[in-house]
Amino acid sequence: MDGHDHWLREIEPELDGELSLAARAALARHLVSCAHCAGARASHLEVRAALASAAGDRHARTFPQAPAVRTRTLAVLATVVLLAGAGLGWALHARWGGPGGGDLEASRAAIVVR
Ligand SMILES: [Zn+2]
């Protein structure tokens, strides 16, 4: 592309502290000579500062990350919700029965034309 794509992709990981020191140094060297990428990095920082301010922490030092939901936890929660729904459905069916109450014919709507 135009030579900036690689560096632009490095900005977010650099701000998250995920780059190695060598990669951070290479990015810093590029930012010194490239106003385009330096401006993009400044924009990323401004967005993060605005989000932190909107979240009530104007002096945040890091970008707040959403807590990661573990796959196992999500699977357990989904299973519990499904079992609770099935149990509730079974209990309600046992209490009040299914739709229509009696046989299928009694549950049909009657259209009378005169
Ligand atoms: Zn650049």
Contact 63, 16 (CB under 8 A): yes
Ligand 1 center–CA 4 separation, angstroms: 4
Q: Determine the distance separating the centroid of ligand 1 and the alpha carbon of 20, expressed in angstroms.
A: 19
In a domain, 33, yes or no: yes
Taking the centre of ligand 1 as the mean of its atom positions, its distance from the CA of residue 62, in whole angstroms, is 24
Cα distances from 75 to residues 68, 82, 109, in angstroms, run 14, 11, 42
Is residue 65 very low, low, confident or very high in pLDDT (cuts 50, 70, 90)? low
Domain that holds residue 38: 5-54
43 & 77 share domain: no
Would you state the structure tokens that stand for residue 14, as one six-digit string?
Answer: 């650099």
Segment of 5-14, 52-61, 92-101 carrying the highest mean pLDDT: 5-14
At 67 the pLDDT is 66
Cβ neighbours of residue 12 under 8 Å, at least 6 residues apart? Answer: 44
| 37 Cα: distance to centroid of ligand 1 (angstroms) | 4
| Number of compact structural domains in the chain | 2
Residue type (1 letter), 97 = G
User: CA–CA separation, 89 vs 103, rounded Å?
Assistant: 20
Residue 112 has pLDDT above 60, yes or no: yes
Distance from the alpha carbon of residue 2 to the mean position of ligand 1, in angstroms: 9
The mean pLDDT of 55-71, rounded to a whole number, is: 75
Asked if the structure places residue 43 within a domain, the reply is: yes
Instruction: Identify whether 113 is part of a domain.
Output: no
